[in-house]
Amino acid sequence: MQREQWNSRVGFILAAVGSAIGLGNIWRFPYMAYENGGGAFFIPYLFAMISAGIPFMIMEFSLGHKLRGAAPKVFAKLGQSYGLRLEWLGWFQVFIAAIIAIYYVAIIGWAISFLGFSFTQSWGADTNAFFFKEYLQLEDNSPTRLGQFQLHIAIPMAIAWSITSLAIFTGVRGGIERASKIMMPLLFIMVLTLIGRIIMLPGALEGLNYLFEPDFSRIFDAKVWSAAYGQIFFTLSVGFAIMLAYSSYLPEKSDISNNAFMTVLINCGFSIMSGIMIFAVLGYMAQEQGKELTEVVSSGVGLAFVTIPAAINLLPLPYIFGPLFFLALVVAGLSSHISIIEAVTSAVMDKLNLARKKATLLVCGTGFLASMAFATNGGLLLLDLVDYFINNVALLFSCFVELIILAWLFKIADIRDYANRLSEFTLGRWFDLCLRFVSPAMLAIILVKNLINTVTDGYGGYPIEDQLILGWGLIATMLVISLIINLFTSDKEDVL
Ligand code: PHE
Ligand code: NA
C-alpha cells in the first residue's frame, strides 16, 4: 500500500505548526520569559532555538522523510543498517505521546467548558473557587484517590476526542491537513485581534514593560539557560514521535531545511505574540485592581482558568474577549492533540499492518477510555503529577538518547548531506557541532539536574507512593514494554 502524502507544502507546514503551537506557547512561554530575565531571556531562548530546536527539527524531518515510517519503524530501520535493535526507542516515544494525549485532552475539555461559560461569564466573581471547587469539584483528593466520575468534564472531553478522531480517521490530506488549514489561520487571526484591542487598554503597555524589560544580570544564571533549553523541545514537539510521523508523509521532493526553519520560526513567533497578549491583559488587570503586576502574574492552569477569567470580568465587551480567548486555547490544543494521536496511530498502523480507520478506532477508543481517569474530582492532581514526570524526566531522556544515538553512533554528517541534497540552502558544519556537542551537553545537564531534584525533593508534595507509581513506575513500565516489543520483533519483521 502506498504511504499517504501531504497535498501541499503549505499544508505540511501548517500541520507541523499546528502541532508545535499548543497550550505551552500560550500559558508557559510568557511566564517563563517573565521569570527568567524578561527581554534578556530572548538571548538564551534564541540560542536554544538555533543550536537545538532547528537542527533537531531538520534531523527529524530528514529521518521521517528518508525512512518513511512512524517512530518505531524509523528507529528500527536506522538500527538495522548498523546491526542494532533500536525499535524500543520509537515505542518509548510513542508511549510518551500516548500518555500526553490522554491528559492533554482533559485540558482541552476544560477549555471547551470555559468557552461555554465565557459567553456570560458564568464563572462569577471568585474565579478561583469557581474553577477548583465548582467546576473540577476538587476535594480532599490525591493523584490516586480520584473520587467520582464527573460527567460535566467527560462531555467536553468527548467533544475534543470526536474532533481529533474525525481528523485522524479521515486521513493525512482530507483530515489533518484540512483541519490545520482551517485552524492555524483562524488561530493567528484570533490572537492578533485580541492583541490589537487589548493593547489599547490602560495598563497594557506597563504589562509589556514587565515582560520585555531586560534583566541582563540573569544571562549568567545557569537556571535561565536550562529553562530555555527545557522549553524548546516541548514547544517544538520534537523527540516524541510526532514530527517523525508527520514528515514520513512528505513527498519525495521536499525542502527539508526550509520547512524546518519555517516551522520553528512560526512557533517561536507565536510564543512572542502570546506573551504580548497575556502580559497586556495582566497589565490591564493590575491597573484596574490597583495592584502590582507581580501580584497577578501566573502561568499554566491557574493562568488560563483562574486569572484570565478574572481579567475577562473586568474587560469592556467581555462576551467577545472571553470566547475569543478560549476558542484560541481550544484550537491551539486540538491541533496539537491531533498530532500526538497521529504519532500513535501511525505507529500502530505500521506495526500491526492495520488500515487507518481501524487503527484510529483502536487508538482513539483506548485513549478515550483511559482519559476518563481525568474526568474525576482528583483529575487535575493526576494530570499535574504525570505531566511533571513525563516532561521533566521521560521527554528529556528520550531526546537525549535520540541525540546520542544519532550524533554519536551514526554519522550526523550523513543526515546533513541528506537534508542538503533536498534543500535550497546548504547547512554548514554548525549543524553537526550543535547536535553532537551543544545540545547533548545542555540536555545532559538539565536531565541530571531534574533527576537529582526529583529524587531528593519529589514533586509537588504528593504522597510518595503516588510519585513512585505514577511517576517513576509509569516511566519504567513504558521503558520495559518498549524493550519487550523490541525483543519480540524478529529482524525479518524489521525490514517491513
Ligand atoms: N508543542 C506543544 C506546546 O507547546 C506541546 C505538545 C504538542 C504537547 C503536541 C503534546 C503534543 O504546547
Ligand atoms: Na509550541
Average pLDDT over residues 469-474: 98
* Ligand 1 binding pocket mutation candidate from 236, 237, 272, 387 (most atoms within 8 A of CB): 237
Spatial CB neighbours of 141, under 8 Å, sequence gap ≥ 6: 147, 376, 377, 378, 381
CA angle 35, 47, 428 (to 5 degrees): 170
Considering every ligand atom shown, identify the ligand nearest to the alpha carbon of residue 234 and give its number: 1
Which atom of ligand 1 lies nearest, measured to the CA of 236? 1
Enclosing H/E stretch for 259:
helix 256-289
Average pLDDT of the residues in 405-427: 94
Tell me how far the alpha carbon of residue 22 lies from the centroid of ligand 1, in angstroms. Answer: 5
Instruction: Give the number of the atom of ligand 1 that is nearest the alpha carbon of residue 333.
Output: 12
* pLDDT tens for each residue of 190-217: 999 999 999 999 999 999 999 999 999 9
- How far, in Å, is the centroid of ligand 2 from the Cα of 58? 16
pLDDT at 496 over 70: no
How much is the ipTM here? 0.96
In tens, the pLDDT along 2-28 reads 899 999 999 999 999 999 999 999 999
Query: Could you tell me which of 336, 177, 168, 359 has the C-alpha nearest to residue 267?
Result: 336
What are φ and ψ of residue 376, in 5° steps?
A: -140, 175
Residue 493 has a pLDDT of 52
DSSP character string of 47-81: HHIIIIIHHHHHHHHHHHHHH-S-HHHHHHHHHHT
Neighbours of 360 (CB within 10 A): 25
Query: Which of 234, 271, 331, 390 best tests ligand 1's pocket when mutated (most atoms within 8 Å of CB)?
Result: 234
From 19, 27, 31, 246, give the residue whose CB has the most ligand 1 atoms within 8 Å, as the site to mutate.
19
Q: Which residue's CA is the closest to the ligand 1 atom numbered 9? A: 336
Residue 149 has φ and ψ, to the nearest 5°, of -65, 135
Ligand 1 binding site (Cβ under 6 Å of any ligand atom): 19-20, 22-25, 100, 104, 234-235, 237, 242, 336, 339-340
What's the gap in Å between 336 CA and the centre of ligand 1? 6
> What gap in Å lies between CA 96 and CA 477, rounded to an integer?
11
Is the pLDDT at 123 greater than 70, yes or no? Answer: yes
Indicate which atom in ligand 1 lies nearest the CA of residue 339: 9
Predicted pLDDT of residue 82: 84
pLDDT of residue 495: 45
Reading the block at residue 212, the C-alpha cell is 520585555
* Residue of 2, 325, 331 whose CA lies nearest to 167: 331
Q: Which three cell numbers stand for residue 214?
A: 531586560
Q: Spell out the alpha helix ranges (H) of 372-438.
A: 379-389, 395-404, 412-422, 430-433
pLDDT of 402 strictly over 90: yes
Q: 490: buried, middle or exposed (CB in 10 Å: 19+, 13-18, 0-12)? A: exposed
| pLDDT score for 213 | 95
What separation in Å is there between the alpha carbon of 393 and the centre of ligand 1?
A: 16
Cβ 120 vs Cβ 319: under 8 Å: yes
Domain ranges within the chain, ordered by starting residue: 9-488
CATH of 9-488, one of 3.30.930.10, 1.20.1740.10, 1.10.10.60, 3.40.50.300: 1.20.1740.10
Length of the chain: 496
Q: Cα–Cα distance between 182 and 179 in angstroms, integer?
A: 5
Measured in Å, residue 377 CA sits from the centre of ligand 2 at 29
Distance 84 CA to ligand 2 centre (A): 33
Confidence of residue 81 (pLDDT cuts 50, 70, 90): confident
C-alpha cell at 167: 481528523
Mean pLDDT of 94-98: 98
Question: Mean pLDDT across the stretch 178-187?
Answer: 98
Nearest atom within ligand 1 for CA of residue 24: 12
Mean pLDDT of all residues belonging to the chain: 96
Closest listed ligand to the CA of 390:
1
Q: pLDDT digits over 322-344, tens only?
A: 999 999 999 999 999 999 999 99
Residue 477, amino acid:
T
The percent of residues in the chain predicted with pLDDT above 70, rounded, is 98
Q: 140 alpha carbon to ligand 1 midpoint, in Å?
A: 30
